[in-house]
Structure 1
Amino acid sequence: MTRTDGPPVLHQSGAAGKQAASRTGRPPMSERRRQAVRLEISRAAVRLFASRGVAETSANDIADAVGMSTRTLWRYFSSKEECVRPLLAIGAEETAARLRAWHSDSPSIAMFGGEPDRQIREQLRQMIRLTRTEPGLRAVWLAVHNEAESAFAKALAERAGLAEDALTPRVQAAMINGALRVAAEEWAWSGDIDEPMSPALVETIRQALRAALSGLSA
């Protein structure tokens, strides 16, 4: 099998792509199903990266692991490293939603909801650990947090009745995002997989969130 780690240069998109799909008679994939497929690919990529290393894992390997062609894989991701994005992004949208709904008289730690199940938690830990030594994965990890920060700032601005690019929600979002990223890295590199967050780590997050959210109106 010919191996390639880059998507084909030529592909159909826009109206041409829709017409091609129409000709095949295949119904369009629902967004929920598409997200499920993306997460399945992400989890397969993490398993392979953790067991073989990024350099020794090709896009073909990832595609084979989920039973699809490499050509189909490129419809979901632009590179093999990007395949990990859905797993790393778990919880960001939920956190933004909770920021919009959170009341200042509630504990700040309460805005961050339930944790993923043990299997996904273990894969998250493996993935975050790999970001320390794999520049390509580190870039994806930081990009995910950059996007999350924008979502947090928008949520905070909405609840405060401010413009999306206002300084205060942007600063608060940066503090919240930084606290969560550092906490996740600390947990991944030194935590016990059977204990999602140690009491000391929970307290660290709590203190950071108190500082980030001080003065935030309900």
Structure 2
Amino acid sequence: MTAARGRTGRPPLTEERKAAIRLEIARAAVDLFVAQGVAATTGEQIGQAVGVSARTVWRYFPSKESCVRPLFSTGIDTIATALRQWRPGRPLEEAFDHVWARDAALPGPDVGALLRLTRSEPGLRAVWLQTHDEAEPAFARALAERAGLPADDVRPAIRAAMLNAALRAAVEHHAYRTTEPGADPATARADLAATLRTALAVTAAGLT
């Protein structure tokens, strides 16, 4: 009787490991984009910086610009959860105080550097805007669930668009004026959290 053959080769990657690889690629891409520009950066260079092949890079991302998407999309699920848990009668900005208190929930310096590049790199700008476009339905679903409204009600969609625009404007505002190298990270995070809180306060009148 022939013994059954066991599975050979590497075990499949877990979703957590795949997400970690995507993030490693994203951070390597940012470093290269900032150092030498998008046009001069190749998939091979991005892969070498992470210790993977260019083929692996393209397995995860369709283009070099899209490599940065994991950094832009960080926090979408956290924001949607905070919206669902936003208590009736409480200011919108208070719903996110516990979120902004966690450093991991705030966009880091690499995102700031990326956003500054989006002003001169249309490909990166497109990825940034697409990420927000894809986040909007998640915010709308959360707001509809919170208000007990049907998913196809237009009001959560409009409120989600307002919230989405406010968050994007706040992060861009912070990134565009935070250009000093060697700035204290704690001060920068506190300033970003304050800017986001202000944006939410300004938006709240249209969401309540």
Same fold (TM over 0.5): yes
Partner of 1:195: 188
1:177 counterpart residue number:
164
Question: What is residue 105 of structure 1 aligned with on the other side?
Answer: 89
Q: 1:81·1:136 contact (CA, 8 Å) conserved in 2?
A: yes
CA root-mean-square deviation: 2.2
Residue 165 of structure 1 and its aligned partner are, at CA, apart by 2.6
Matched, 1:212 2:206: yes
Residue of structure 2 aligned with 1:139, choices 123, 126, 134: 126
Using the aligned pairs only, state the percent identity.
48
- Looking at structure 2, the residues matched to 162 and 48 of structure 1 have their Cα atoms a distance apart, in angstroms, of 45
1:30-179 to structure 2, matched below 5 A, reads 30-112=14-96, 113-114=99-100, 115-116=102-103, 121-179=108-166
CA distance in 2, matches of 1:175, 1:38: 30
CA drift of 1:200 comes to 7.0
What is the distance in 2 between the residues matched to 1:137 and 1:202? 22
* Alpha-carbon separation, structure 1, partners of 2:16 and 2:44: 25
Separation of aligned partners in 1, 2:146 and 2:133: 20
Letter aligned with residue 119 of structure 2:
R
> Residues 175 and 208 of structure 1 are in contact (CA less than 8 Å); yes or no, is this contact kept in structure 2?
no
- Of the structure 1 ranges 137-146 and 104-113, higher mean CA displacement relative to structure 2 is found in 104-113
Deviation digits for residues 47-81 of structure 1, max 9, x if unmatched? 11011100010111101110001111111111100
Shift of 1:132: 1.1
Aligned residues between the structures: 192
Q: Give the equivalent residue in structure 1 for 2:3.
A: none
Measured in 1, the distance between the counterparts of 2:130 and 2:197 equals 26
Q: Distance in 1 between matches of 2:201 and 2:107?
A: 27
Q: Give the number of the structure whose residues are more often helix, by fraction.
A: 2
State which drifts further: 159-168 or 54-63.
159-168
TM-score by length of 2: 0.84
1:207 and 1:103 mapped to 2: Cα distance?
15
Cα deviation digits, residues 24-56 of structure 1 (max 9, x gap): 532221111111111111011011101110001
Q: How big is the shift at 1:135?
A: 0.4
TM-score (norm 1): 0.80
Determine the C-alpha separation between the residues in 1 that align with 2:173 and 2:64: 25
| 1:96-141 CA distance string (max 9 Å, x none) | 1111111133331133313545x96110100111111100000000
What are the ranges of 5 or more consecutive residues in structure 1 without an aligned counterpart?
1-21
Partners of 2:132 and 2:39 in 1: how far apart? 24
1:159-214 superposed Cα distances (whole Å, 9 cap, x missing partner):
22222231000000000000000001000001375323268735631333312321
Letter paired with 2:18: R
Q: Which moved more, 1:153-162 or 1:76-85?
A: 153-162
